[in-house]
Amino acid sequence: MKYKDIKENEEVQALISKGNENLGILGYTDHSEVHAALVAERATNILEILGYSKKQIELVKVAAYMHDIGNAINRSRHAEYGSLLANDILKETGMDRQDRLTVVSAIAHHDESTGGATDVISATLIIADKTDVRRNRVRQKPKASFDVHDRVNYAVTKTDLIVDKDKKQITLNLEIDERICTMYEYFDIFLGRMMMCRKASELLGVTFRLMVNGNKAL
């Protein structure tokens, strides 16, 4: 089972669509196929620069694209629900058992409330997912109705994830409009996720840095 096949799989597409619809009603930011594909692209970039194998890159792309399908069932425990759904889908495709278990384990461990990095694939998925902070993840609605999650994402005017193999370092560079979101609000929402990225980076043998408006924040 290749990444291109997963992107074209009707069951996967339906689950992503339903999950994103559910989260929209509940007030969450975008979790559509745009987010799924961006996380897959970012995960690929991390492993390619750090010199990991083509097989590992393919596995993390599959895990990344499918990581949020559990939202079609419920936001709570969506990582675990998603891993079970992914296991059934990938089993039907005839994917190698060990590869399948690697993917479903990464999906199960990607949420900060219940998970954590256990191997290269899960670590990379966590970093790629948690660093997707951008203005256009906020859904189209009046600014007056923005909650703190909306404000935090909308305040980010520029984001770059830089992977430096020589320095053994991954850096998330953010530019934040503090007229929209205070630094206190940002860290109130994202500190746990950034700490998760730091621990995941250690498993990859690199350090994780967060730069906000040119200043080191983590």
pLDDT given for residue 140 in this prediction: 84
Confidence of residue 218 (pLDDT cuts 50, 70, 90): confident
DSSP 69-113: GGGGT-STTHHHHHHHHHHHHHHHTT--HHHHHHHHHHHHT-STT
Instruction: Indicate the range of 9-23, 86-100, 129-143 predicted with least confidence.
Output: 129-143
Per DSSP, helices labelled H in 93-210 are 97-108, 120-130, 148-154, 183-203
pLDDT, one tens digit per residue, over 101-132 is 999 999 999 999 999 999 999 999 999 999 99
Q: Tell whether the model's pLDDT for residue 147 goes beyond 90.
A: no
CA-to-CA distance for 71 and 21, rounded, in angstroms? 9
Domains of the chain: total = 1
CB distance 200 to 127 below 8 Å: yes
pLDDT given for residue 143 in this prediction: 82
Rg for the chain (alpha carbons), in Å? 17
pLDDT, one tens digit per residue, over 152-199 is 999 999 999 999 999 999 999 999 999 999 888 888 889 999 999 999
Task: Over range 55-82, report the average pLDDT.
Answer: 98
Across the chain, mean pLDDT equals 95
Here the CATH number for the domain that contains residue 69 is: 1.10.3210.10
Task: Over range 61-78, report the average pLDDT.
Answer: 98
Can you name the residues that pair with 161 across neighbouring β-strands? Answer: 172
pLDDT given for residue 142 in this prediction: 81
pLDDT, one tens digit per residue, over 186-195 is 888 899 999 9
- The parent domain of residue 32 ranges over 3-216
